Amino acid sequence: MKRIIAKEEYCMGCGLCEVYCTVQHSKSKDIIKAYNRENPRPLSRVKLEVHKPVSFAIQCRHCEDAPCVTACLSGAMQKDEETGLVTHDPEKCVGCWTCIMVCPYGAIKMDASGKVVSKCDLCLELEVPACVANCPNGALVYKEVKP
Amino acid sequence: MPKYVIVGASAAGIGAVEAIREVDPVGTITVISEEPCPQYSRPMISDLVSGKANFEKMMCREDEFWEKNDVQALTGRTALSLNLADKYVALDKGDRVNFEKLLIATGGKPFVPKIEGADKEGVYTFTTLSDAESLAAKIETAKSAVVVGGGLIGVSVTEALVKRGLKVTMVELKDTILSLILDPTASEMVGNVISNEGVTIITGQSVQRVVGKPEADDVVGGVVLTNGEQVQCDLVIIAIGVIPRMELVSGTDVKTNRGIIVDRFMRTSVSDVYASGDVAEAYDFVFGENRLLPLWPLAQLEGKVAGYNMAGKKADYPGGTAMSALKYFEIPIISVGITNPREDDAYEILVKHEPERNLYKKIVLKDNVIVGMTLVNDIEQAGVLFHLMKNGVTVKKFKQELLSEDFCLATVPRSLRRKVYPGEYR
């Protein structure tokens, strides 16, 4: 299965990963509309973490033994047996924040509504996730990893 | 003969079924559950009362969960006793279910103190779906309620009742609400929000008597507190806490303390008998000893560990600790481990409190290892802190940054990240 791997030695901290993630998860898929018109503005599911001189982008790791899935109260967070993806169903989510408490990466956010959580879905509709495709310096790669 | 028998179909039972099926796709599984309905999320019963969720939304697994996992689900049935010598569970109606491996996941039952008049119509406990349904059915006609207990269950049910327009009085015996998980500062922050919603919070008191209505004495009309004060109400909800349901093992060789004692593999003192969830007293990694921790995420994890071991895959329970994520009236709070240590040189306390922003963060350290935290209104990096805590990481080098709003995984030095996130830095 393919996963996003961060190469922190290449990360410049430009934040384009967040911009393109935001656009990809907007209704319009248009950068100007997404940032200017959509209210609330869609949230980036990848987070650029900066602690100078270190910076890297982090998003849901789709853990093999995902603590968020075990902890989820409502069954919104599930592990897809076939793809190995950790999927999140906002319709089932009740925003109890238990997953946020147990995510070792801090990769789950409250979504813009403050009612449910939001996290990386690996942009399944794209061949390469938006953050990876738009990283100008190869600091994010999408590659096959062993489970 | 069923290979695996699980008594209880809530978090621990579900976790066990999933783990067993990962390892053993064919061994027969029988689940015995008193609940007449399919698996649902008990922590969500307050959402049912508030109207935020319907039953469908409360189902924490797909409709065909039992069928898909090839489980014989005996729902609406009661396990009456165990015969550990002949390895069977005796059910109601005289039936028996034999087992090779047994998991006791019977959970907890509400603790109901002796209160005069508690048998009147309109007194409820709040643990199961049927409790929630009976309460929800009364809400249309009721105007006011007294909630006995200001802990997790008490505050949850209070919020639900307020959202349905009831006037609620919460009565807590301790000096502060949520005293088991929050320090006085955080408790006051929650208390203020709840009071602003029109709830009367009475602390340092309990209910000594439930009184009837003038026109009908067998129907709740109010309560009398220990100080003699009387509070009028149409409903009384007893939400003090849960105690392990250990009836099944009483008189057997299964060792118990406050709950059923289990080792790190979720085994009880009797071979082939496991226990998990609210009924079990499992390992707490902060205290380094077994404790009762009746919490959904831990129950599910314990069930999973039990399931793996029952099916022959060695798995050890990493341990849990008190851990709660709260969302009362939209303030996000996360509280883990020791949050209110006694004055003692052994603990170092880091605090950031900005009342004007409703922000409060507190981290408790012991020998430079995080042993507890409370985060109010800035919770998103809680999991990183929790991970450092669970792994006993020495945070000496960066402890000044733990409370910063910029704290994140990148704050953790790379050499340490390599150690505690082995999968990421291969």
Q: How far away is chain A from the Cα of B116, in angstroms, using its nearest Cα?
A: 35
List the alpha helices (DSSP H) in B39-197: 45-50, 55-58, 65-68, 129-139, 152-163, 184-196
Of the candidates B61, B208, B315, the residue with the CA atom closest to the CA atom of residue A73? B61
B82, B91 contact by CB (below 8 A): no
Q: Comparing B4-106+247-310 with B123-240, is the CATH topology the same?
A: yes
Task: For A64-90, give the DSSP string.
Answer: TT-HHHHH-SSS-EEE-TTT--EEE-T
Residues sharing a CB contact under 8 Å with residue B67, sequence separation 6 or more, in sequence order: none
Question: Using one digit for the tens of pLDDT, what is the confidence trace for B27-41?
Answer: 999 999 999 877 899
Say which of B43, B304, B408 has its CB closest to residue A49: B408
The answer, yes or no, to whether residue B103 has pLDDT greater than 80, is yes
B170, B162 contact by CB (below 8 A): no
Check if CATH label 3.50.50.60 holds for domain B4-106+247-310. Answer: yes
A100, B380 contact by CB (below 8 A): yes
The answer, yes or no, to whether residue B320 has pLDDT greater than 70, is yes
Of the candidates A7, A74, A136, A127, the residue with the CA atom closest to the CA atom of residue B44? A74
Q: Which of residues 384-413 of B touch A (CB under 8 A)?
A: 384, 386-387, 406, 408-411
List the alpha helices (DSSP H) in chain A: 16-24, 31-36, 67-71, 98-102, 130-133
Q: How confident is the model at residue B142 (pLDDT cuts 50, 70, 90)?
A: very high
The residues spanned by each domain of chain B are: 4-106+247-310, 123-240, 332-420
Write the DSSP symbol of residue B187.
H
A54 and A68 in a single domain? The answer is no
Average pLDDT taken over every residue of chain B: 95
> Which of B10, B49, B384, B390 is the mutation pick for testing A, counting most A CBs within 10 A?
B384
The answer, yes or no, to whether residue B344 has pLDDT greater than 60, is yes
Q: Is A15 on the interface with B (CB under 8 A)?
A: no
Q: Is B15 on the interface with A (CB under 8 A)?
A: yes
CA-only gyration radius of chain B, Å: 23
Contact A103 B408 (CB under 8 A): no
A129 and A92 in a single domain? The answer is no
User: Does the residue A147 lie in any domain?
Assistant: no
User: What average pLDDT does the segment B165-169 reach?
Assistant: 97
Angle separating helix axes B11-23 and B296-310, nearest 10 degrees? 30
Altogether, the residues listed in chain B come to a count of 426
Question: Using one digit for the tens of pLDDT, what is the confidence trace for A27-50?
Answer: 999 999 999 999 888 999 999 999
Instruction: Look at strands B123-125 and B235-238 and give their pairing.
Output: parallel
Neighbouring C-beta atoms of residue A109, cutoff 10 Å = 16
User: Does the residue A51 lie in any domain?
Assistant: yes
Q: How far away is chain A from the Cα of B391, in angstroms, using its nearest Cα?
A: 11
User: Does the residue A145 lie in any domain?
Assistant: no
The domain that holds A77 is classified in CATH as 3.30.70.20
Say which of B52, B300, B410 has its CB closest to residue A49: B410
Contact A70 B297 (CB under 8 A): yes
A1 and A54 in a single domain? The answer is yes
- Extract the residue ranges of chain A whose pLDDT is less than 70: 147
How are strands ordered across the β-sheet holding B144-148?
B123-125, B235-238, B144-148, B167-172, B200-203
How big is the A-B interface in CB pairs under 8 Å? 111
A128 and A102 in a single domain? The answer is no
Residues of A in contact with B297 (CB under 8 A): 70-73, 98, 102
Q: C-alpha distances in angstroms, A138 versus A141, B15, B426?
A: 7, 40, 18
Give the model's pLDDT for residue B48.
94
User: Does the residue A77 lie in any domain?
Assistant: yes
Give the model's pLDDT for residue A23.
97
Helices (H) and strands (E) in chain A, counts: 5, 8
Cα separation, A28 vs A19, whole angstroms: 14
User: Does the residue A67 lie in any domain?
Assistant: yes
- Closest A-chain CA to B156: A96
User: Does the residue A30 lie in any domain?
Assistant: yes
B206, B171 contact by CB (below 8 A): yes
Residues of A in contact with B15 (CB under 8 A): 70
A127 and A99 in a single domain? The answer is no
Range of A104's domain?
63-118
Contact A92 B332 (CB under 8 A): no
A98 and A131 in a single domain? The answer is no
CA dihedral A63, A109, B157, B361 (to 10 degrees): 100
Give the model's pLDDT for residue B342.
84
Residues of A in contact with B332 (CB under 8 A): 97, 110
Q: C-alpha distances in angstroms, B30 versus B22, B271, B281, B301?
A: 16, 19, 24, 20
Ramachandran sector of residue B12 (left: φ over 0; alpha: ψ -120 to 50; beta: rest): alpha
Q: Is A118 on the interface with B (CB under 8 A)?
A: no
Give the angle B182-B301-B86 at the CA atoms, nearest 5°.
125
Write the DSSP symbol of residue B166.
-
CA-only gyration radius of chain A, Å: 15
Give the model's pLDDT for residue B425.
61
Q: Is A7 on the interface with B (CB under 8 A)?
A: no
Residue carrying structure tokens 């709830």? B199
Domain count, chain A: 2
- Closest B-chain CA to A57: B410
B255-285 burial, b at 16+ Cβ within 10 Å, e below that, comes to ebeebbbbeeebbbbbeebbbbbbbbbbbbb
Give the model's pLDDT for residue B341.
92
Q: Which two tokens stand for residue B413?
A: 């030095």
Altogether, the residues listed in chain A come to a count of 147
Contact B423 A64 (CB under 8 A): yes
Cα separation, B101 vs B114, whole angstroms: 38
Q: How far away is chain A from the Cα of B343, in angstroms, using its nearest Cα?
A: 27
Q: Is B112 on the interface with A (CB under 8 A)?
A: no
Q: How far away is chain B from the Cα of A103, in angstroms, using its nearest Cα?
A: 5
Long-range CB pairs of B291-295, under 8 A, 24+ apart, other chains included: B292/B244, B292/B258, B292/B259, B293/B320, B293/B321, B293/B322, B294/B107, B294/B108, B294/B241, B294/B242, B294/B244, B295/B320, B295/B322, B295/B323, B295/B324
Write the DSSP symbol of residue B24.
-
A14 and A47 in a single domain? The answer is yes
How are strands ordered across the β-sheet holding B79-83?
B79-83, B88-91, B96-98
CATH number of B123-240: 3.50.50.60
B108, B243 contact by CB (below 8 A): yes
The percent of chain A in helix, strand and coil, each rounded to the nearest 5, is 20, 20, 60
Q: C-alpha distances in angstroms, B131 versus B109, B220, B326?
A: 12, 17, 22
Q: Which two tokens stand for residue B394?
A: 């020495």
Under CATH, what is the fold of the domain B332-420? Answer: Enolase-like; domain 1 (3.30.390)
Contact A74 B336 (CB under 8 A): no
Contact A97 B379 (CB under 8 A): yes
The answer, yes or no, to whether residue B315 has pLDDT greater than 80, is yes
Give the model's pLDDT for residue B1.
64
Contact B332 A104 (CB under 8 A): no
Cα separation, B333 vs A107, whole angstroms: 17
Q: Which of residues 42-81 of A touch B (CB under 8 A)?
A: 47, 49-51, 54-56, 58, 61, 63-64, 67, 70-75
ipTM exceeding 0.85, yes/no: yes
Amino acid (1-letter code) at residue B325: A
User: Does the residue A9 lie in any domain?
Assistant: yes
Cα separation, B60 vs B65, whole angstroms: 10
Give the model's pLDDT for residue A147.
65
Give the model's pLDDT for residue B423.
74
- Closest B-chain CA to A56: B410
Cα separation, B25 vs B140, whole angstroms: 48
- Closest A-chain CA to B336: A101
